Amino acid sequence: MAVDYAALKKGGFMRQRQKDNFSLRLKVVGGNLTAEQLITIANISKKYGDGHVHLTSRQGVEIPFIKLADIDAVKSELLDGGVFVGVCGPKVRTVTACQGGEICPSGCIDTHPLALLISERYFGKELPHKFKFGVTGCMNNCLKAEENDVGVKGCFVVNWESELCSMCGVCLKVCRPGAIKIKEDRLELDGAKCDNCGRCVKSCPADAWKGESGYMLSFGGTFGNMISKGNSVLPIIKDRDTLFRVADAAVDYFSKYAKPGERFRVTIDREGWDGFTAALERAYGNA
Amino acid sequence: MVLPPRSSERTAMREYDIDETADITDVVCPVTFVKARVALDEMEDGRVLSIRMNDGEPVQNVPRSIKEDGHKILKLIDNGDGTYSLIVRKVGE
């Protein structure tokens, strides 16, 4: 019987140069694996592969040199060890994330729980072409939000509470865009200059700067054959419901307007950013 | 070489009753924070440290690290010579 390589690829088995050998792509969300999962992966690699694994550019793990004949056994043993097979082909791919606010002092949002929710909602969804989500916790952008079809970047919408302020002067220096100025005995924030990085909040010794977590979304990023930075076309989103309404709208738009085998960016460029933005704005406003 | 305190630093020292000083202008991240932390570790609770640091990356990042360690920042003083003095009260465990 002929081997259905396309089906194997969709299921995460990437054909190798070496005949009947596959590099098995695993499902990893936000780059996190438990020690138990790692042990399972290591054992499978030793038993069925050649004893090494590859860490992919999108925080995934592949186990190379899996033999065609062993595919079913490998799948079942991985499942027993709590490890799931990834996907390839025209689908929503691995959701990437930095460590975020749960671990990283710079984080403005908890990236991992959000990455899990995004993954639960979209991972493996069939679309006209591959589709990537990435979640980065702050303006440092370690996870490179704008190179994803939909990028999520954590930020703070900041507010100064005068009665708590000791006028120590730290925020004036930590604010990189220079959005904070002293005017007599008050601080003034220039909203047009503020980039919502939240450094004032993180640094303020008196907790006089308050930060409300928000999400900045970018759309149409791609960093492969074609290189384009995702664009932010919406105001900062402050709740997950709105985030998912907007993400749904983006995915639906791609589903509806893309030609088969066409990346999201190409679709938006062809159909026009105005129409796309209008579709997102409708979702954004439909609270 | 340790420079004598400038007038702005001397004023601050009087105002904040500074007990110790540390100069981290001769090191770069992450040693800036390490050096400041060592100075704080050697002090008793409630004592006040003045940390002299360079403009740019140190003054943007060291205050946050000091805050995250639980110490109390009292003031950031522009020394007018490309350095800043961060006045910190040590807060113990």
Q: How many residues does chain A have?
A: 287
Please, what is the angle between helix A273-285 and helix A264-271, to 10°? 100
User: Is the CB of B63 less than 8 angstroms away from the CB of A176?
Assistant: no
In this structure, are residues A153 and A216 in contact, taking their beta carbons and an 8 Å threshold? yes
For the segment A130-138, the average pLDDT, to the nearest whole number, is: 98
Same domain for A253 and A124: yes
Whole-prediction pTM: 0.90
Please, what is the angle between helix A111-122 and helix A240-257, to 10°? 40
Kindly report the nearest CA distance between residue B74 and chain A, in angstroms: 6
Position A5 pLDDT exceeds 90: no
Same domain for A103 and A51: no
Q: Which two tokens stand for residue A139?
A: 């303006």
Looking at A30, A45, A80, the residue that finishes a domain is A80
Helical segments of chain B, H only: 7-16, 31-41, 57-68
Task: List chain B residues with pLDDT less than 50.
Answer: 1
What is this model's ipTM?
A: 0.81
Contacts of A103 (CB under 8 A, 6+ apart): none
Three-state DSSP state, B50: strand
User: Which range is least confidently modeled, A88-102, A115-129, A204-218, B6-20?
Assistant: B6-20
User: In CATH, what class is B7-89?
Assistant: alpha beta
Same domain for A50 and A173: no
Q: Domain containing A34: what range?
A: 5-80
pLDDT (0 to 100) of residue B12: 64
Same domain for A49 and A118: no
pLDDT (0 to 100) of residue B13: 63
Domain harbouring A15, CATH code: 3.30.70.3340
Same domain for A73 and A102: no
Same domain for A175 and A121: yes
d(CA A108, CA A196): 10
φ and ψ at residue A150, rounded to 5 degrees: -130, 120
User: Is the CB of A174 less than 8 angstroms away from the CB of B84?
Assistant: no
Nearest to A168 among B55, B64, B73 (CB): B73
Same domain for A133 and A59: no
Closest CA to A111 of A94, A131, A87, A95: A95
The reply to whether A90 falls in a domain is no
Same domain for A206 and A150: yes
E strands within A10-119? 13-15, 21-25, 54-55, 61-67, 96-97
Extents of the domains making up chain B: 7-89
Q: What is the pLDDT of residues A198-218, one digit of tens each?
A: 999 999 999 999 999 999 999
Q: In whole numbers, what is the pLDDT of chain A averaged over residues?
A: 95
Interface of A with B (CB under 8 A): 105, 166, 168-170, 172-174, 176, 199, 202-205
Match 């961060």 to its residue by tokens: B86
Same domain for A21 and A141: no
Same domain for A118 and A75: no
Euclidean distance between the first and the last CA atom of chain B, given in angstroms as a whole number? 33
Same domain for A174 and A67: no
Residue of chain B whose alpha carbon sits nearest to that of A198: B64
Sort out which chain B residues have CB atoms less than 8 A from A205's CB and list them.
Answer: 63, 67, 72-74
Contacts of B1 (CB under 8 A, 6+ apart): none
Same domain for A216 and A247: yes
What total number of domains does chain A contain?
Answer: 2
Closest CA to A9 of A121, A85, A99, A98: A85
